[in-house]
Amino acid sequence: MVNIEIDWPPETDLAVKEEMFAAELARGQELARAGQLRRLWRIPGRWANWSLYEVADATELHNALTSLPLWPWMTVQVHALADHPNDPRQLGITVERGQ
């Protein structure tokens, strides 16, 4: 589980920002297709997100995160996760919810 806050100078030129964003999106999709980045959520009201990675070890995770174009502006907190015997997915419980 990775928590990322982005500290981006508010005065930056809009074209620079858009180019950076397009590159970020592209790299994020590559990480997803490689099976490393699994889920991604926004933290409401902030330029920040929670993401769920599935990697072999901390070195692979470091390489994935630092490959993101916005990484120099990020503050990253990694939270290691261990399996929980009651995890619904481990128990095979995957009911669809009529939202």
Write out the residues near its own copies by the rule CB under 8 A: 1-2, 8, 10, 25, 28-29, 32-46, 49-50, 54, 56-59, 61-62, 65-66, 72-84, 86-89, 91, 93, 95-97, 99
Nearer to its own copies, 19 or 75 (CB): 75
Q: How long is the chain?
A: 99
| Type of residue found at 9 | P
CA Rg value for the chain: 16
Question: How far is Cα of residue 6 from the mean position of the Cα atoms in its chain?
Answer: 12
Residue with tokens 């490393």: 36
The least CB distance from residue 45 to its own copies, in Å, is 3
The least CB distance from residue 85 to its own copies, in Å, is 8
